[in-house]
Amino acid sequence: MKFMDLYKGYDKRKVAIQSRIESIIERSQFIFGPDLEELEETLAKYVGRKYALGVSSGHDGLSLALMALGFEAGIDHSDKEVIVPALTFFSTAEAPASLGMKVVVCDIDPDTYNMDLNKLESLINKNTVAIIPVNLFGQCIDYDALDTIAKKHNVFVIEDACQSFGATSKNKKSCAFGDIAITSFFPAKPLGCFGDGGMCFTDDDELYARLKKLRHHGDSGGMVHVMLGTTGRLDNLQAGILLEKFKGFDEDMDLRRSVAEFYTKNLNGILKTPKIESFNDSVYAQYVVISESKDRNAIREYLQTKDIPTALYYPNPIHLAPILKPLGYKVGDMPNAEYVCKNSLALPIYNEMSNDEGLVVINALKEILSN
Ligand SMILES: Cc1ncc(COP(=O)(O)O)c(C=O)c1O
């Protein structure tokens, strides 16, 4: 069994994708072009935003967002603080840290695994400039509650939606929240391309104008460089592939949710299954479970003997990353994130996964957990 079978997703729309790729190659317009523009318009409309801007990756989108908000490269930002959750992919912390900003880590909610909003406010001080909430494993954080805190303290919100494109929260789509939202089109993401890619979303005219320049070397047009930017564009081939994949995206997410629901129905009571808030609809970028009785590594090893791969999201929490040691965090500072890192495992999931494959995983888990 594969942890994620990306080929199956390609195979069902092979002809359309191949003909799109062929037509782009024939036009030979690889950087900036109609496919990118069409994708930006389509996805902005889908998530309900004024603007969308294709970028080279989710990570680059996070960096560009911070730069657009005024924290560009080449300026000392060491007194500026950015709050990130303790459980996320390293990029969420790496982007502000790389721009010389101070990363402040917030522990997670023990049930949703998203940033704990009860702990957030005590971390805000006069140096705090931004919060980067992450919609972990495909489920949005409560943006009403988060925005109330952010507005009270006048700090920016950057929605890290790298795992949640397609999710909804209180009838709004993920990527509709925050001053700027970022998603990733890394191949394994809910909407994945065939390489690296991402997108920034905003409703703000000025932020959009700044993002646009920053993703192309601060060029204000005609090679007049007014900002320090980067090579941050989404290329036209990836945009074309994404347009084809997007045509069946909602159906794909329905399939994915039904795989997750099948797991939940059969594993509830045996393992701690994902808790989805009543106001949320997750896209299950990962399906993560925790056993309260059996050692996580023993479960993984047993599943591996049955040819069932699992993965860890994440083996280590953000505050214990070796490169962030100068921040002074230690083991025990973020107990909820540390617990998840030590005890959770992610089960195979992909849109086309059949109930028969799901049952193989479920039965293997039942076997090991009854021993
Ligand atoms: C929460 C989160 N933020 C940022 C990123 C970075 O995205 P990319 O791999 O497209 O740079 C990822 C990718 O795994 C992610 O999961």
Q: Of ligand 1's atoms, which has the minimum distance to the CA of residue 60?
A: 11
What residue ranges do the domains of the chain occupy?
A: 6-246, 249-370
Please tell me the distance from the alpha carbon of residue 347 to that of residue 274, in angstroms, as a whole number. Answer: 12
Please tell me the distance from the alpha carbon of residue 294 to that of residue 71, in angstroms, as a whole number. Answer: 46
Length of the chain: 371
* Closest listed residue to residue 89, CA positions, set 198, 12, 9: 198
Structure confidence at residue 264 (pLDDT): 98
The pTM of the full predicted model, rounded to 2 decimals, is 0.98
Neighbours of 197 (CB within 10 A): 30
Residue with CA closest to ligand 1 atom 7: 58
Over the range 309-347, which residues count as b (16 or more CB within 10 Å of their CB) and which as e? ebbbbbeebbbbbeebeebebeeebbebbbbbbebbbbb
Structure confidence at residue 371 (pLDDT): 78
Structure confidence at residue 350 (pLDDT): 97
Which class is domain 6-246?
Answer: alpha beta
Rounded to the nearest whole angstrom, what is the distance from the C-alpha of residue 59 to the centroid of ligand 1?
6
Structure confidence at residue 366 (pLDDT): 97
**Does residue 134 line the site of ligand 1, with CB under 6 A?**
yes
Query: For the chain, what is the largest distance between any 2 Cα atoms, rounded to a whole number of angstroms?
Result: 69
Q: Which tokens hold the place of 41?
A: 């318009």
Residue with CA closest to ligand 1 atom 14: 89
Please tell me the distance from the alpha carbon of residue 264 to that of residue 137, in angstroms, as a whole number. Answer: 15
Place of tokens 């045996």: 270
**Does residue 160 line the site of ligand 1, with CB under 6 A?**
yes
Q: Let me know: does 190 contact 253? Beta carbons within 8 Å.
A: yes
Instruction: Say how far residue 362 (Cα) sits from the centre of its chain.
Output: 26
Output the CA torsion 56→61→63→64 (10° steps): 90
Return the CATH superfamily for domain 249-370.
Aspartate Aminotransferase, domain 1 (3.90.1150.10)
Block mean pLDDT (10 aa), the chain, length 371: 95 96 96 96 98 98 98 94 98 98 98 98 98 98 98 98 98 98 98 98 98 97 95 97 97 98 97 98 98 96 98 98 98 98 98 97 96 78
